[in-house]
Amino acid sequence: MHAIAFALTLLLLSAPALAAGPPPAATPAAPPPLRCAEDGEGGACVWGRAEGFDAGALQVRGLHIALAGITAPGRKDLCGSKSARDEFDCARPARKRMGELLSKGVACEIVDVASGQLWGRCKVADGDLGRLLVAGGLARAAKDGPYAEAQKQAIAARRGLWAADMVLPRDWETARRKAEDED
């Protein structure tokens, strides 16, 4: 009797389903890719992975789209640090953050075409790309644009371009003074 029980135990333990242990934990489903919302007015929208980007623009599906509502520093704009007394490319922090934000895809609604340039409002997994850049102090809100409040918060918190230690190019310094005067 013991021999039968022993053989049955060996048979059960050698079965692949039982020997493999418990099934692996289910992996969380990946979030759906960003897509454009349906637009009843026939607006244009493009989505997918960013093929390239700079501080205030990106390329998706071969289209170069400038972010509407923001002004980002250019590669030739040099910022400085009061404590380190050195200069650096003002757009570098914005490009770094855009790379992080664009890693999960982007959906851009084209809001204007002017002089051959597409202007869009883009969404990433974390929200509105322009708002995120302005709120992080990495870009300036365009005059009469939708991100004025986000810029006020960045200035008040002294984030990014508005940090106390930051020395901005002359035109950016003028923008900082004007924004502070409006408060």
Helix, strand, coil percentages, rounded to 5, for the chain: 35, 25, 40
pLDDT tens digits, residue range 77-100? 888 877 777 788 888 889 999 999
| Pairing status of strand 63-67 against strand 117-124 | parallel
Look at residue 110 and tell me whether its pLDDT is greater than 90: yes
Domain coordinates of the chain in residue numbers? 37-182
- Pick the more confident residue, 126 or 171: 126
pLDDT attached to residue 124: 96
The pTM (predicted TM-score) of the whole model is 0.72
pLDDT attached to residue 78: 84
- Pick the more confident residue, 7 or 79: 79
DSSP state of 183: -
**Rg from Cα positions in the chain:** 26
Query: φ and ψ at 46, to 5 degrees?
Result: -135, 140
- Alpha-carbon distance 156 to 180, whole Å? 9
Token pair in block for residue 95? 């490009």
pLDDT tens digits, residue range 34-88? 667 665 455 689 999 999 999 899 999 999 999 999 999 888 888 887 777 778 8
* Domain range 37-182, its CATH number among 2.40.420.20, 1.25.40.10, 2.40.50.90, 3.40.430.10: 2.40.50.90
- Alpha-carbon distance 56 to 49, whole Å? 16
End-to-end CA distance of the chain: 90
- Residues pairing with 109 in the sheet: 45, 121
